[in-house]
Chains A and B, each alone.
Chain A
């Protein structure tokens, strides 16, 4: 039996004390050890983006990182976006613009867009399209995903959500 590492994973502001093998990906640790199953796994090799989460504010593929690497860093997942019953502007925009169909890819798109827009609120539609090209949607709802993110971007510029989301 391989050695286990006792680590503290900070996800959405909450500490999770977990014991994992070094080979446990961040995605699997979030889902199976922390119970945060909103992060989805599609391809497990960096191509689909379903597993995108924020690590210290940056959108990354959680299937290409080991949980032990995220020790001491702030991880944010889709579960941390809404404030209680109040949806994040991006979640609201996806709802209003039919930005999701089966919803499998949605958490990845939401975290990608959150990270990109928090870093650069003034991204143009062309820049957002380029960034969103990183993730795949098998229901091919791309037009409405772009529409949703652009709508949320204007709302976030007008009224920036507080940083603690």
Chain B
């Protein structure tokens, strides 16, 4: 239970990190909060040759609302969302979801961006990013590019972030007036990874749903945005029957993964429950 040796470098800024990544290539690994990486290193599941510690790059520690997006820098810890980081529906949504991520001390170190780069299928932040259609800013020695969530997640622990890339920033759409959200997660104990979870955001105008975002996580190799079902919600007033229908369609459309924590059949039942509850909470 001790990590293998590695060379330790500690760049002081975003540009120094990008240079270090270019220099060390396939040997180099970004160390953010360490709440997934160091555990994997202790088990020797990960044996990086060079650790590039980004914790002293102060220029990556920010939460910046600008226009219709909230920009989240790579050093923003989960705990920064314990209180709504911005006014309005997005801030409320983030503060609601963060309580389900691991535990209080782990949230003091783990980062929002690190969760996305790690891409655990049961990560709450990955579900948020996929459902809301986040935009990722990926930087390397050649400059930076943006990548939409739909192209970012490639499977379990796999994303568009390459060996020499830094996931520098994540941009979430600021949900404007009229939006409200619901989140429901099922796990066996407080702080455990989700066996299934769902995030719903609804825009309600004059009692009618005029826009919707709906996603499910923890049941597949990545978070799933249910775009078709979003369309089924639009134009209708929220009702128990509508939400039951949509939840049943979500269940019918996904064949969940099975593991030691739950069979595919069990997770399938959970999908209907969590989707129904997330939608109900969003409309409440």
Judging by beta carbons under 8 Å apart, are B109 and A60 in contact? Answer: yes
Q: Does A68 contact B (CB under 8 A)?
A: yes
Q: Does B34 contact A (CB under 8 A)?
A: yes
Identify which of B37-45, B143-151, B202-210, B233-241 touches chain A.
B37-45
| B32-76 interface with A by 8 A CB criterion | 34-35, 38-39, 41-43, 51, 53, 55
Q: Kindly identify which residue among A2, A25, A63 contacts B5, using a CB–CB cutoff of 8 Å.
A: A2
The distance in angstroms between the C-alpha atoms of A23 and B105, with both chains bound, is: 21
Contact code string B164-204 (vs A, CB < 8 Å = 1, else 0): 00000000000000000000000001110000000000000
In the complex, the number of residue pairs spanning A and B with C-beta atoms less than 8 Å apart equals: 86
A131 and B104 alpha carbons, distance in the complex (Å): 6
* Chain B residues with CB below 8 A from A154, complex form: none
Q: B51 to chain A: which residues have CB within 8 Å?
A: 22, 66
Expressed in whole angstroms, the minimum distance between the Cβ of B125 and any Cβ of chain A is 17
- Chain A residues 55 to 80 lying within 8 A of chain B, measured CB to CB, are 58-61, 63-66, 68-69
Chain A count of residues within 8 A CB distance of the other chain: 30
How far is it, in angstroms, between the C-alpha of A100 and the C-alpha of B35 when the chains are bound? 28
* Stretch of A11-19, A42-50, A88-96, A156-164 on the interface side: A42-50
Interface residue tally on B, bucketed by range: 20 to 34
Q: Is A81 an interface residue (CB 8 A)?
A: no
B2 touches A134 (CB 8 A): no
Contact check, B6 vs A61: say whether CB atoms are below 8 A apart: no
Quick check: A44 and B108 within 8 Å, CB to CB?
no
With A116-B104, A134-B104 as contacts: A64 and B7 at CB distance below 8 Å: no
Complex Cα distance A77/B123, Å? Answer: 31
Chain B residues positioned under 8 Å from A134 (CB to CB)? 102-106, 191
**Is A85 in contact with chain B by the CB < 8 A criterion?**
no
Partner of B38, one of A21, A49, A65, A115: A65
B126 smallest CB distance to A (angstroms): 19
Cα–Cα, bound, A46→B51 (Å): 19
Query: By the criterion CB–CB under 8 Å, are B191 and A133 in contact?
Result: yes
- State the CA gap A60–B35 with chains docked (Å): 10
Residue among B10, B42, B102 with the highest chain A CB neighbour number at 10 A = B42
In Å, the complex CA distance between A112 and B43 comes to 25
Residues of B within 8 A of A39 (CB): none
B4 within 8 A of A: yes
- Inter-subunit contact A65/B109 (CB<8 Å): yes
Given contacts A22-B51, A44-B1, contact A64 B103 (CB under 8 A): no
Q: Is the CB of B191 within 8 A of A22?
A: no
Closest beta carbon of chain B to A73's beta carbon, Å:
10
Taken together as a complex, chains A and B put the C-alpha atoms of A59 and B189 apart, in Å, by 21
Using an 8 Å CB-CB cutoff, how does the interface string of A105-148 with B read, 1 for contact, 0 for none?
00000001001100000000000001101100000000000000
B105 contact from A5, A60, A68, Cβ within 8 A: A60
B8 CB within 8 Å of chain A: yes
Q: A131-B104, A134-B105 are in contact. List 9 more A-B contacts (CB 8 A).
A: A23-B5, A25-B2, A25-B3, A25-B38, A45-B42, A58-B109, A65-B109, A66-B38, A134-B102
Binding site for B on A (CB under 8 A): 2-3, 5, 21-23, 25, 28, 44-46, 49, 52, 58-61, 63-66, 68-69, 112, 115-116, 130-131, 133-134
Pairs A-B, 10 closest by C-beta atoms: A134-B103, A22-B8, A2-B5, A45-B39, A133-B190, A44-B1, A64-B38, A58-B108, A59-B105, A23-B3
